[in-house]
Structure 1
């Protein structure tokens, strides 16, 4: 990803749950409900992914103790994984995270979750087949379940739909031009 990639920036800004393992003086403002100027050990906070990742891999000076421990984001929780296993096409990924697959990719870089990896791959395969079908059959994409499915696409899937639909229109135009001559 590029430094200027807006999708990477938006993925990095998604909030993830984490727990502070040590007391941290002067960062109490990160916890909006606290009047204390410090963060106490055991405090659970939602932090942007970029900050949580940095704090999770850093260690306190002179010790082997991590500053925070990361938890799996709610968008990738076991409840969501079970729904994706049942029928990936019925889950509105956009309501979970606008950059769902980007978040999944970053989380898989931090956690060794084989099952999550398999679920995300299977979800992507099944959903892209549906996206391709709807992009090449515009009449079927206008209403009903197809419309609800399209509204639930995350940003990567929306870009895929746009590219597939534009290529379908271009091919139709090309074939129309070809047969007229």
Structure 2
């Protein structure tokens, strides 16, 4: 969890996650579009992560809602990441994909998801570093991959690109002396 003022953390916590109500709650029907009714037990709705987590952990004896992993972390996505992480458009799944994964893993202890996300990030980071050092690749055949980067990967690209540029400038300055 980031700082209170961390925009990325705020955007991650606003990501919708599927929730199932375990109890009937009067007056919450508006969450389903039923303006005057109750939220019935067994109702499935998508709520912002912060709200779903709060409702799932709100009662001491049993939870008000059951939180389900979001579609961005569904088994089909995990299988695609296992097969070839470079081919998955993470941005289309969730702009803050890795932050969402981290937040979900704070709630669910899923070792397989942890492993898949770690391996995917490592694999994609190598390609990102290569693209950052070779801007023509990022504009040419690597353009589709670059569009699919999540926010963490975009920051990594910027840092790698800026550092490569700084090294080239430093080398040029050395040669002038």
Q: Could you tell me the TM-score, scaled by structure 2's length?
A: 0.97
Task: Report the equivalent of 1:176.
Answer: 172
**Regions of 4+ moved over 2 Å:** 34-37
Task: Give the one of 52, 65, 68 matched to 2:65.
Answer: 68
Task: Give the one of 110, 116, 119 matched to 1:113.
Answer: 110
Q: Structure 1, unaligned stretches of length 5 or more?
A: none
Structure 2 residue 30 is matched with structure 1 residue 29 = yes
Aligned residue pairs total: 176
* CA-CA distance at 1:2 after TM superposition: 1.3
Query: What is the RMSD computed on CA atoms of the aligned residues?
Result: 1.0
Of 51-60 and 66-75, the range deviating more from structure 2? 51-60
Counterpart secondary structure, 2:17? strand
Q: Structure 2, unaligned stretches of length 5 or more?
A: none
Aligned counterparts of 1:135 and 1:49: Cα–Cα separation in 2: 33
* CA-CA distance at 1:36 after TM superposition: 4.2
Alignment of 1:31-110 (within 5 A): 31-32=32-33, 34-59=34-59, 64-110=61-107
Aligned counterparts of 1:28 and 1:176: Cα–Cα separation in 2: 66
Aligned counterparts of 1:70 and 1:2: Cα–Cα separation in 2: 23
Task: Report the equivalent of 1:149.
Answer: 145
* CA-CA distance at 1:35 after TM superposition: 4.4
